[in-house]
A and B are shown apart, each in its own frame.
Chain A
Amino acid sequence: DAGITQSPRHKVTETGTPVTLRCHQTENHRYMYWYRQDPGHGLRLIHYSYGVKDTDKGEVSDGYSVSRSKTEDFLLTLESATSSQTSVYFCAISVLPDRGYGYTFGSGTRLTVV
């Protein structure tokens, strides 16, 4: 009912394999974000999008790529998964965060790289 869903919710993958996480929204928000959450680090921005085919890097973008071919879908790809990418990944959507509009978060994807 929140208008944003992430899939899968849980995934275990092997080192060196590519992995794609999906974020889908039904709110027609312009801005979409991928964060990772790790103990002691809070939420760190990986990549974000400000429109179809418009994306930019965040503070921890190395080893990740994104694509947004439709307003409603934002994909995060780990090109060759490493153990350091074991984390909980959150997608978020927003209207205009610097005007005070908050983020709506998905429920997260717990990724384990073995």
Chain B
Amino acid sequence: TQLLEQSPQFLSIQEGENLTVYCNSSSVFSSLQWYRQEPGEGPVLLVTVVTGGEVKKLKRLTFQFGDARKDSSLHITAAQTGDTGLYLCAGAQGAQKLVFGQGTRLTINP
């Protein structure tokens, strides 16, 4: 049973389109993080959200933490080919360790 469910698992869109990736759980998290991973490399932290309802923006990427701290979303505006990669959400539940979703593989076509 996956503690964090990401959807969609695969997404292929054209450059310039908008998209949203979801990360859902029935559990409450003290913080939630988003990572991006490129082939042959480890994941790289994009953002951490800690407060229910929090919204953070990173250029064209907008991250939101659900009010109940059980879910999160990542919205990309005007996607670019450089946004291609595997996006992972991860939640902290104490004990100083993270649980990861299975990832969303995003392909932006030129």
Contact = CB atoms under 8 A, between A and B. Distances in A.
Contact of A96 (B41, B93, B96, B101): B96
B44 A105 contact: yes
Interface residues of A, number: 28
Interface in B78-110: 88, 90, 92-103
B45 A104 contact: yes
Contacts of A92: 42
Contacts of B96: 31, 48, 50, 94, 96-98
Nearest to A97: B92
Contacts, number: 69
Interface residues of B, number: 27
B102 A40 contact: yes
A102 interface: yes
B19 interface: no
Interface of B: 2, 30-31, 33, 35, 40-45, 48, 50, 88, 90, 92-103
12 contacts: A42-B88, A42-B103, A43-B90, A44-B100, A45-B99, A48-B96, A48-B97, A97-B96, A100-B92, A102-B33, A102-B48, A103-B35
